[in-house]
Amino acid sequence: MTGKTAKEISNDLLRPVLDTSWRFYAAAVLLGALVVAGLAAWGHQMSAGIGVAGINRPVFWGFYITNFVFWIGVSHAGTLISAILRLTHAPWRRPVTRAAEAITVFALMIGAMFPLIHLGRPWLAFWLFPYPSERRIWPNVRSPLVWDFFAINTYLVGSTLFLLLPLIPDLALLRDRARGWRRHVYRLCALGWAGTPHQWRRLETAMHIMAIVIIPVAVSVHTIVSFDFAMAPVPMWHSTIFGPYFVAGAIFSGIAALIVAMAVLRRALRLEAYLQLLHFESLGKLLLLMSLVWTYFVFAERLTTWYGNEPAEVAVLFAVERGPYAGLFWAMVFCNFVLPFVMLSIKRLRTITGTVVASLAVLVGMWLERFLIIVPSLTRKYLPYSWGTYQPTLVEITITAATFAAMGLLFVLFSKAFPIISIWELKEGDRRAPVVAPGLVDQSMVMADRHANP
């Protein structure tokens, strides 16, 4: 509970949208410059050819597919976590759901770009789309790439709806507070919202349906992404454990991304009264749980490889744990298990700073995990004469850095255009808000805002 009145909640959470400070421009310019650098690197790659990237025979997947799997995994932060918390009516969820849902949409948008970047000639991407045409290109249902296309697009559409539905009542508040052209834009986006009991019933029903539907869609998406690997006869890929392993890792990295985003928003937008220690502690406990689940899957994967003793798979296992990739592997173990276990299992260390440090470590560790799944297996194929190496280039590194900047830029722009915390949900759960039906609570505030700001 915030201990604030409904009017104070509206003023605090609408302030970042209606008032612009120099911090917004500084962040937008810095992050935008990094994004432009990434676009320039991509343009250079399209001009000079895919050879400027480090991928080569037999390592045809490198940083680009690592980023693809990483960002699709991070997208599970929002919609999946938010949907579960909504369905279980967790009282502490209200200040974190919108940021979580925004992460989902932005991460999917970024991740879905990497197959095009990896393609080398993105203007020919339509050749890959599974659609019937005069060229007789029909969907090959045996290919997991076809299901990637449908699953990711379905998830993106569903996640966008799940983000926009709870925004409607807050857009009505902005419609009544904003001036000039912004007022007209918010009026169109509010879809004629008046806060009537009938509208609130419709909204609650739609949100409940979306929360139920989006959970299996989210689980299926990363399961299908895992099939890109599990269906290939490559050492340490051809495994039935990859489905749940990838889903667990996606939720793990998603929670970490949400904690980091909350910490940045808390400091940058002065939301200390709304994003409290309770929220970081609760998400920290979930992060600890997923750390243990992730550790189990990693142990099970390596145990079966060692016990099976198949020469090609053992060669990959030893290359990762004892060979040229050993440093990255043990750094991954430290970031994903050792540090989170220490920081989050001890209550005295499970502070806001502690959970953020653990989350940053997890994000680094999960990116390394995606890299270690992809590259070592491709460098150690079944026959020694097909072995190879991979060294990323400046183009790949620049594009990778630009994607992280793009996530930050999208968050900056979103928090400037919309309240990053759901105002009506916060009022609904706050003890100081008028105790009426949820719809009437916010409708009373809409009327109060209109009276105070004619």
Whether 174 is in a domain gets the answer: no
Tell me the CA end-to-end span of the chain in Å, nearest whole number: 30
Asked if the structure places residue 444 within a domain, the reply is no
What phi, psi does 358 have (nearest 5°)? -65, -40
Span 393-422, mean pLDDT?
92
pLDDT above 90: residue 402: yes
Residue 171 lies in a domain: no
Which CATH number belongs to the domain containing residue 275 in this structure? 1.20.1630.10
pLDDT at 64: 92
Structural domain contains residue 427:
yes
User: Is 379 among the domain residues?
Assistant: yes
Residue 265 burial (10 A CB sphere; 0-12, 13-18, 19+): buried
Structure tokens, 29: 């310019």
Domain assignment present for residue 57? The answer is yes
Query: Which pLDDT score, from 0 to 100, does residue 443 have?
Result: 46
Binning pLDDT at 50, 70 and 90, where does residue 38 land?
A: very high
Average pLDDT for the chain: 85
Domain housing 59 = 6-122+139-163+219-438
Q: What is the tens place of the pLDDT at every residue in 86-129? A: 787 777 888 888 888 899 899 999 998 998 898 888 887 777 66
pTM above threshold 0.75: yes
Could you report the per-residue pLDDT of 410-438, keeping only the tens digit for each? 999 999 989 888 888 888 766 444 433 33
181-208 pLDDT per residue, tens: 888 998 998 888 888 889 989 988 998 8
Burial class of 43 by CB neighbour count within 10 A (0 to 12, 13 to 18, 19+): exposed
Q: List alpha helices for 128-230, DSSP H.
A: 144-164, 168-177, 181-189, 197-230
User: pLDDT, tens digit, for every residue of 229-249?
Assistant: 888 888 888 888 888 999 899
Q: What is the reported pLDDT for 448?
A: 40
Question: CB atoms < 10 A from the CB of 296, how many?
Answer: 12
Task: Mark out the alpha helices in 380-437 (DSSP H runs).
Answer: 394-417, 423-429
Q: Provide the number of structural domains found in the chain.
A: 1
Phi-psi region of 433 (alpha: psi -120 to 50; beta: other; left: phi over 0): beta
Task: Say if residue 452's pLDDT is above 60.
Answer: no
* Residue 79: inside a domain: yes
Supply the pLDDT for residue 274: 85
Residue-level pLDDT at 219: 85
Report if residue 203 sits inside a domain.
no
Highest mean pLDDT among 156-160, 311-315, 352-356: 352-356
Q: How confident is the model over 319-340, as a mean pLDDT?
A: 93
Could you give the dihedral angle defined by the CA atoms of residues 28, 77, 426 and 202, in that order, rounded to the nearest 10 degrees?
110
